[in-house]
Structure formats: C-alpha cells, structure tokens
Amino acid sequence: MSPSNRPAWSTATRSAKGVVLHSSKILSSLEKGARLAPTLWAGVAIAGTAVANVPGMANAYNNWESLHSRLDTLNKSFLASLREKEKEGWIAKDREAFNHAVQQYQEAVESLRAYVKAVAGIVDELGDAYRAYWAALAALAARLIALLLIAAAMLTTPFAGSAALNLRLLGTLASRIIAASTAGLVKVIAAGASSVSLFFSGKAFWQMFNLAPTGDAKVDFTQAMIVTGNLPSFQKPPPSRPGQPAQLPPSAGFQWLAPKRDLPEP
C-alpha cells in the first residue's frame, strides 16, 4: 500500500451494518454542535481521547487468524512427512525416541496455535468495541445536530430564553452520554489489556529472555563438541561376510533391531 493510500490513524471504523465511519468526521460533527451548545465541548474532548487506528486492529486480527490457519496447514503436512520417516528402518530404541519427539513437537505447535487464536480473539474484541463506540457516537451526532438546529432556530422567536436553555441542556446531556459510552469502552479496553497481560507478564515468558547459561555454566557453542567415541551406537560394526547378517559393533550390550526386511516365507 502506498503512503498516499494508507488510512489515517483517526479514520475508518466499520459498523456492524457495514457502513464506513470516519472518527474524524464524527468529531467534526460534534464540534459543529458544540458551536451551538458550548456545553458539548466537554463531550467532544472526551470523544477525542477514544480515536484509534481501528483499521489497524482489523488488519492485526486478520494477520493473527492467517497465522493460526497456516500453523494448522503447515503442521499437518509436516507431520505427514514425519509419519513417512517413521516407517523407515530404525535401530535400538531410536524409533521410540523419534515418536516421542514428534509427539512433543505436535503438542508444542497446538499450544502455540491456541495462543495465537486467543490473541486474535482479544484483538477482534477490542476492534468490535471501538467500532460499536463510534457507530453509537455517529447516531448521537446525527440526532443531536437536528435537535440543536431546531433549538437554534427558536432563538429568533419570543421563546429565545427557553431555546438557549434547551441548547445548554442538550449539550450537557450529550456530554454525559459520551462520557458514559467512553467509560464503557475503557472497561472493555481494560479487560482486553488484562487478558493480554496474562500472556506477557507470566514468569515463564520473562524467563525466556534469560535462558543462556552464565558463569561456570556458560557454554561456547561455537567450540562445543559431542563426543561419541565411547558410545556403542556410534561404533563402526565389523565388516559382514557375504550372506551373513550385519555384526554388532564392539561393546554393544543392547538389543539391535535391524531395518525391516521382506524375507520369503519358509
């Protein structure tokens, strides 16, 4: 998306009916009403604190959902490939170790998918709250402007005193409605923030950044080596004779499971 086409941070919310709402335009309408009813300026100031990048929330939700779906698709194809590997020849207890590793991998991916899905749900709830908030303010602004115009027209009549009082009352009432709606939005945001904090404030999450050992336990992985010289599994077996099965390597004290072979029935 080019910079000229990128939506501004203060625009573009979408209501449940699919009507595109621009928070900046809604604020502009409220400001016009405040010129007729100065008591409405308090509501305008409160509404201005709730301007947010709602399209960005929708994009973030779609990205999290896409990641959730891709983890499912890629994981299934990768596990299918691992299952094919399982059918090949194995020795000793390597098959059991491989199956255990595959199971642990699958559990970890499923846990990650659940985490991604939860974050997507939180982002979606916050976006819905903002969309509902600005849709309500758009409806309020439309009705309020109509009433304010009627009251302003009465200023030129003998009922000018009552009209001025009505303008003040309408502005005060609208400001209270905006304040109550904003307070409800704040509660939703606080609940969403609490949900997110469960994922990012846990002890395990912060310990993740300090996994590297230090001091005497520090390992230079560029110089680390795995010594296999004394391990029977890694010893080279003696050469087999023609027609004879493979021999065990020296010092082998475990059961050797040869690769699967199709032998003729006796």
% of the chain surpassing 70 pLDDT = 71
In the prediction, which pLDDT does 92 show?
59
In the prediction, which pLDDT does 5 show?
41
In the prediction, which pLDDT does 89 show?
65
The domain spans of the chain are: 8-215
Closest CA to 144 of 27, 250, 245: 27
> In which residue ranges of the chain is pLDDT below 50?
1-20
In the prediction, which pLDDT does 233 show?
63
Amino acid at 168: R
pLDDT in tens, 129-155: 888 888 888 888 889 988 888 888 888
Q: Tell me how far apart the alpha carbons of residues 110 and 107 are, in angstroms, rounded to a whole number.
A: 5
In the prediction, which pLDDT does 176 show?
92
In the prediction, which pLDDT does 16 show?
37
DSSP assignment of the chain equals: --GGGSPPTT--EE-TT--EE-HHHHHHHHHHHHHH-GGGHHHHHHHHTT---HHHHHHHHHHHHHHHHHHHHHHHHHHHHHHHHHTS---TTHHHHHHHHHHHHHHHHHHHHHHHHHHHHHHHHHHHHHHHHHHHHHHHHHHHHHHHHHHHHGGGSTTHHHHHHHHHHHHHHHHHHHHHHHHHHHHHHHHHHHHHHHHHSSHHHHHGGG-S--GGG---TTT-----TT-GGGSPPPPPPTTSPPPPPTT--S---PPP--PPP-
Model pTM greater than 0.75? no
